[in-house]
Structure 1
Amino acid sequence: MADKQNLNAGFTGTPTEQPEGLTKVAKSAANEVKREVYAVASGARDHPQAASALLLATGMLAFGLGYLLGRSSAESSTRAYWR
């Protein structure tokens, strides 16, 4: 068999060049988003009733606003059509 050679090909876990510019900003933003998602998930895990109530209230508010916007849009278009 052939002698073992030291192959340094492929990803070793850390990049040789540090990111700069847009790549640095994107990595920083991704890390911040991960931390925020973890914080929200941790809070929801600790307080499931409050999280479900907040989710339900947000859904009801979004439905109500959508209903009102759709209704006002339908009323204004029918009035203009029949005049």
Structure 2
Amino acid sequence: MADKQNLNAGFTGTPAEQPEGLTKAAISAADGVKREAYAVVSGARAHPQTASALVLGAGILAFGLGYLLGRSSTDNMTRRYWR
């Protein structure tokens, strides 16, 4: 087996310089997204029926909107064939 003292490959500390500018904004945004995702998951865990009803409702709404947009795009076309 490998000696545990020789496994010091990789950086595990904190950087000497703190991030600034775009890097700091990206890290902050990523942390915010993680917090919001955790809030959604914990809410769905607490209320599974409500979560599944919301997902089903959003799916039905998206399907209906796609169907209507698809139908309206074919209605505008002139049907010159078979005339």
TM-score by length of 1: 0.81
Q: How much does 1:10 deviate?
A: 3.9
Percent pairwise identity: 73
Give the aligned length.
Answer: 73
The one-character-per-residue Cα deviations of 1:18-40 (angstroms, maximum 9, x if unpaired) are 00000000000000000000000
Separation in 2, partners of 1:13, 1:41: 30
Q: Secondary structure at the match of 1:14?
A: coil
| Structure 1 residues 40 and 63: CA distance shift in structure 2, 3 A | same
Counterpart CA distance in 1 for 2:25 and 2:10 is 25
Determine the C-alpha separation between the residues in 2 that align with 1:32 and 1:64. Answer: 32
Matches of 1:48 and 1:9, distance apart in 2:
44
Whether 1:11 and 2:7 are equivalent positions in the alignment is no
Deviation of the 1:12 alpha carbon: 2.5
Partners of 1:59 and 1:65 in 2: how far apart? 10
Where 1:20 maps in the other structure, the secondary structure is coil
Which residue in the other structure is 2:3 paired with? Answer: none
Give every structure 1 segment of 4 or more consecutive aligned residues whose post-TM-superposition deviation is greater than 4 Å.
none
1:16 positional shift: 1.3
Q: Which runs of 5+ in 1 are unaligned?
A: 1-7
Distance 1:57 1:10 in 2: 47
Moved more, 22-31 or 12-21: 12-21
2:43 — aligned with what?
43
Q: For the residues of structure 2 that align with 1:49 and 1:10, how far apart are their CA atoms? A: 45
Structure 2 unmatched ranges of 5 or more: 1-7
Q: Superposition pairs for residues 1-83 of structure 1, below 5 Å?
A: 10-77=10-77, 79=78, 81-82=79-80
